[in-house]
C-alpha cells in the first residue's frame, strides 16, 4: 500500500516538474505560408547623372522565381523632395529583375520593391545614399531612432 502511494507520488511529481514544451517544427503541422524572399542589390557606389542598375533577386520556397505576377520598383528621396513614378522591373531570368535609373541629385534615397508571386505579396524597402547627405537628411535619420535603443544609449 505504502509502496503504491510512493510510486504514484513519484509519478505525479515527475509530471508536475516536466512541464510540456512545444516541438521545434510544430508549425509544420498547421497551415503554412510560402513567403516570397528578396534580395535588393544596389551598386556599391552610385554617381549622379549616370545610368545605374538596381536589381532584386526573388526566391520562393528555395527556388528562384521565374515570371513573377508583378515586380514594381518605387524609388524616391526619404525627405520626399524626389519621387519617381512606380515602374515595372525587367525580368532578366534566374529570379533577377532589374531597372536602370538616372539620378540627378545627391542625397538619401529609398527603393521599395513591390512584388508578388503565388499568393505572397512583399514590399521590402532599402535605404541608400548617393554622394553626400544634407543637414536635413541627417536629422531625418536621427529622428527615426527606435526609442528602446535610445534609452539604452543613455545608460552607457
What residues make contact with other proteins under the rule CB under 8 A? 1, 5, 8-9, 11-13, 15-16, 19-23, 26-27, 29-33, 35-38, 40, 42, 108, 110, 120-129, 133, 138, 141-142, 144-149, 151, 153
> Nearest distance from residue 86's CB to other proteins, in Å?
14
Nearer to other proteins, 38 or 99 (CB): 38
> Nearest distance from residue 90's CB to other proteins, in Å?
21
- Tally of CA atoms within 13 A in the half-sphere of 120 that contains its CB: 15
- φ/ψ of 24, rounded to 5, equals -60, -45
> Nearest distance from residue 98's CB to other proteins, in Å?
18
Nearer to other proteins, 49 or 142 (CB): 142
How is residue 135 written as a grid cell? 543637414
> In the beta sheet, which residues pair with residue 58?
38
Nearer to other proteins, 99 or 137 (CB): 137
Which ranges in 2-146 belong to alpha helices (H)?
Answer: 2-17, 135-143
CA distance 128 to 119: 29
> Which residue reads 508578388 in cell numbers?
116
> Nearest distance from residue 91's CB to other proteins, in Å?
19
Amino acid at each position: 500500500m505504502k509502496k503504491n502511494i510512493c510510486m504514484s507520488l513519484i509519478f505525479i511529481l515527475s509530471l508536475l516538474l516536466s512541464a510540456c514544451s512545444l516541438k521545434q517544427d510544430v508549425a509544420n503541422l498547421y497551415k503554412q505560408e510560402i513567403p516570397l524572399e528578396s534580395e535588393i542589390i544596389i551598386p556599391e557606389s552610385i554617381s549622379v547623372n549616370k545610368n545605374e542598375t538596381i536589381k532584386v533577386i526573388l526566391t520562393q520556397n528555395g527556388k528562384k522565381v521565374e515570371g513573377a505576377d508583378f515586380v514594381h520598383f518605387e524609388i524616391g528621396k526619404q525627405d520626399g523632395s524626389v519621387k519617381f513614378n512606380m515602374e515595372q522591373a525587367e525580368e532578366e531570368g534566374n529570379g533577377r529583375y532589374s531597372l536602370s535609373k538616372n539620378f540627378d541629385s545627391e542625397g538619401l534615397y529609398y527603393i521599395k520593391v513591390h512584388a508578388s508571386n503565388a499568393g505572397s505579396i512583399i514590399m521590402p524597402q532599402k535605404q541608400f545614399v548617393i554622394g553626400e547627405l544634407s543637414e536635413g537628411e541627417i536629422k531625418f535619420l536621427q529622428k527615426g531612432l527606435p526609442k528602446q535603443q535610445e534609452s539604452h544609449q543613455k545608460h552607457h
